[in-house]
A and B are shown apart, each in its own frame.
Chain A
Amino acid sequence: MSATPPLPRWADLVLLPLINLAAALFVCGVIVWFIGENPFDALAVMFKGAFYLFPDSLGYTLYYTTNFIFTGLAVGIAFHAMMFNIGGEGQAYVAGLGAAAAGLVVAPYVPAIVAIPISVATAALFGAAWAFIPGYLQAKRDSHIVITTIMFNFLATALMVWLLAGPMIQPGQQSPQSSLIAASAFLPTMKDMLALVGIEIAASPLNLAFIIALLAMLVYYILVWKTRLGYEIRAVGKSQEAAKYAGINVPRVIIITLAISGAFAGLLATNEILGVNHRAVLNFTAGYGFTGIAVALMGRNHPIGIFLAALLFGALIQGGSELDFEFKTITREMVLLIQGMIILFSGALAYMFNPPLARFLARVLPGKGGNDD
């Protein structure tokens, strides 16, 4: 095989992800066509449903986007250290316990200005703790992080089912959920917040957690590219051996990275528990942790990319729920299929289109490639 010319940076960052996305959507389109519906109609319904079909459509889309930003950042920061945190699901789940505990125990005695920061911090702390253990086992005991975090997802489920059906169950109730948290720990909705400055929007679950997510993106950017720790994280990701010889304490960096990753995942609980459910419930993580992997892969571990990918997935979830109403044979599960395809094409097959694209660009862009003639 002939040597492949290097891909220009803009093509690598923009064109290639778009081609991968298009390939994923194309295959899904073929499947939709195969089961007897028009893929373009389905796409149009999803787009409308995600953005402007109803006054609250966009609010819902951004509410889902919030969850994907958190889990995308969680996977992304771990990727910078070449660590695969597949346990965002469990970390977010256990963080829900932290958020609810703070909302039940502390919040009744303090005003919102204190209750909200404490509850948010507790959620992040619980998420961090649930990721700390696999991080520690990877760094010190050489357990593979992928397997350990998978196991910890199941352990989180077992723990939460036991707690919510047993010790934490709302007294006098049968369904496995905790009591309502104190109102001072509720995150205000976007509608209420914007009403304060005189802007009217439709009611939706969108709440303060969206702002927290935007702040988390900023923190992520500064942490990874502007701090000493971020430099160490990236150095460990490039080569653990080299990092070690440069005097970096590799196990320490791995453990800290995983804990930060877990904290980002844990913030999902602020949106779901503090913002919407207002109590600990079963299965509120709903696969966001796994989709975070797709978000990070598509977003190339950069906050802007992660935001765009999270918006895409948020729109898919919200738009996908409209499929149920518009079509007989395609439902919101279509979104799972699209997610799977996106992970396949922009993750596992990320570089399938790289060599042909690079050769094509080298031919059509004179003077850039240089090795054509």
Chain B
Amino acid sequence: MIDFLYQLLLTFDATLRVATPLILCAMAGIFSERSGVVDISLEGKLLMGAFSAAAVTSVTGSPWIGLLAAIGASVFMSMLHGFACITHKGDQVVSGLAINILASGLTVVIGIALFHQGGQTPSLFGDQRFRKLELWFTDTFDAIPLFGTIYRELISGHSILTYAALLAVPLASLVLYRTRFGLRLRAVGEVPEAVDSAGISVSWLRYRALIVGGVLCGIAGAYLSISHGANFVREMSAGKGYIALAAVIFGNWRPVRALLACLLFGFLDAATPRLQGFEFPLIGEIPSQLMLAAPYIITVLLLAGFIGKPSPPAAIGQPYDK
């Protein structure tokens, strides 16, 4: 029993690690989509962020400069998305797709040109990465049974970027629901005409939403390559941007619900290797592929209205024409 609880605790711990990039990307997706811009380019921004973080860190030796580079690269991709579908009113899905494919190509082409390692970046060591932080009192709390273990394994011992991701959720809620910028941002995703007739620039609001999204995706990318991992590997985003998009939909475009969706998807991911060969009563072993596919199945069912009713922003996907 104790062993099972300890395993569960470790699974929760792994859940947080897996969910970190999902949470950051999901918040990015919420900002962008709430302003009316479809964002399937989360994946590409995540990948660009991961590459830039690892590449710049391996050259400069500082993860903080790497983080800044990741944010810069990801925001640049965001601005490209904005230039295409806000300024030139291009199709948002096509633009997002272009960015994803561009990111796949750019990261490898530049990676090979710079490092000659088949698209990887050199491995980072020691302080070149954001490592696990041991929070205060971890040793003191060890004396307390149960809580001490939970504190050490689950609450303490994560990358600073994981804490940033968890902080991003209440911040996103606060900005979206308690600030003038958030009010306008939500309005521009529902009735852009109203925002426009109030004398506020629809384009500039959407650009700002995309910048916020770019920053968040950049942090997520840095987490992948210089915190969770120790270098950049080709295609290391591996569909996480799309899972985050699924979490945005599953969370009905709301930060806290999207966080819960990310944790759920992260938990499924973290539990998969631990359930290999485990026989459930009545149903037997669950194929790991089914576990990995679960987020997509759940999202399809949700979108089809079989679980609750999704309510996307009214003006999503439509370029604003005066």
Given contacts A331-B112, A340-B105, contact A290 B84 (CB under 8 A): no
A293 pairs with B97, CB closer than 8 A: yes
Looking at chain A's contact residues, is the secondary structure mostly helix, strand, loop, or mixed? helix
On chain B, the residues within 8 Å of A86 by CB distance are: 93, 97
A162 pairs with B287, CB closer than 8 A: yes
B304 pairs with A143, CB closer than 8 A: yes
| Contact mask for chain B residues 80-98; partner A; CB cutoff 8 A; 1 contact, 0 none | 1001110011110111011
- Report the minimum CB–CB distance from B6 to chain A (whole Å): 30
Q: Does A21 contact B (CB under 8 A)?
A: no
| Contact mask for chain A residues 121-140; partner B; CB cutoff 8 A; 1 contact, 0 none | 00000000000000001000
A329 pairs with B105, CB closer than 8 A: no
On chain A, the residues within 8 Å of B305 by CB distance are: 141-143
Q: Compute how far the CA of A152 lies from the CA of B297 in the bound complex, rounded to whole angstroms.
A: 9
What's the A-B contact tally at a CB cutoff of 8 Å? 144
| Contact mask for chain A residues 200-235; partner B; CB cutoff 8 A; 1 contact, 0 none | 000000000000000000000000000000000000
A154 pairs with B239, CB closer than 8 A: yes
Q: Does B171 contact A (CB under 8 A)?
A: no
Q: Does B299 contact A (CB under 8 A)?
A: yes
Given contacts A166-B287, A336-B108, contact A137 B303 (CB under 8 A): yes
| Contact mask for chain A residues 236-267; partner B; CB cutoff 8 A; 1 contact, 0 none | 00000000000000000000000000000000
The residue in B245, B292, B300 that gathers the most chain A C-beta atoms within 10 A of its C-beta is B300
On chain B, the residues within 8 Å of A338 by CB distance are: 105
Q: Does A343 contact B (CB under 8 A)?
A: yes
B98 pairs with A340, CB closer than 8 A: yes
Q: Does A351 contact B (CB under 8 A)?
A: yes
On chain A, the residues within 8 Å of B224 by CB distance are: none
- Name A297's closest neighbour in chain B (CB-CB): B94
Q: Does B130 contact A (CB under 8 A)?
A: no
Q: Does A113 contact B (CB under 8 A)?
A: no
B102 pairs with A348, CB closer than 8 A: no
A339 pairs with B105, CB closer than 8 A: yes
Q: Does B104 contact A (CB under 8 A)?
A: yes
Q: Does A349 contact B (CB under 8 A)?
A: yes
- Name A32's closest neighbour in chain B (CB-CB): B109
A339 pairs with B101, CB closer than 8 A: yes
Q: Compute how far the CA of A302 lies from the CA of B83 in the bound complex, rounded to whole angstroms.
A: 28
Interface range on chain A: under 10, 10 to 19, 20 to 34, or 35 or more?
35 or more
Q: Compute how far the CA of A328 lies from the CA of B109 in the bound complex, rounded to whole angstroms.
A: 11
- Name B310's closest neighbour in chain A (CB-CB): A143
Residues of A332-346 whose CB lies within 8 A of B: 333-341, 343-344
Q: Compute how far the CA of A143 lies from the CA of B239 in the bound complex, rounded to whole angstroms.
A: 21
- Report the minimum CB–CB distance from A251 to chain B (whole Å): 14
Given contacts A151-B299, A155-B296, A166-B287, contact A348 B95 (CB under 8 A): yes
On chain B, the residues within 8 Å of A350 by CB distance are: 90
Contact pick for A35, options B83, B113, B287, CB 8 Å: B113
Contact pick for B90, options A293, A328, A349, CB 8 Å: A349
B88 pairs with A352, CB closer than 8 A: yes
- Name A335's closest neighbour in chain B (CB-CB): B105
Q: Does A161 contact B (CB under 8 A)?
A: yes
- Known A333-B119, A340-B101, A344-B102; further 5 A-B contacts with Cβ < 8 A: A36-B113, A151-B246, A158-B290, A336-B105, A347-B95
**Which residues of chain A have a CB within 8 Å of any CB of chain B?**
31, 35-36, 84, 86, 137, 141-144, 146-148, 150-152, 154-155, 158-159, 161-162, 166, 290, 293, 297, 328-331, 333-341, 343-344, 347-352
**Which residues of chain B have a CB within 8 Å of any CB of chain A?**
38, 40, 80, 83-85, 88-91, 93-95, 97-106, 108-110, 112-113, 116, 119, 239, 242, 245-246, 249, 287, 289-290, 292-293, 296-297, 299-300, 303-305, 312
27 A-B Cβ contacts within 8 A? A35-B109, A141-B303, A141-B304, A143-B303, A143-B305, A144-B303, A147-B299, A154-B296, A155-B297, A158-B289, A158-B292, A162-B289, A328-B116, A330-B113, A331-B112, A335-B105, A336-B101, A337-B109, A340-B100, A340-B106, A344-B102, A347-B91, A347-B94, A348-B95, A349-B83, A350-B90, A351-B90
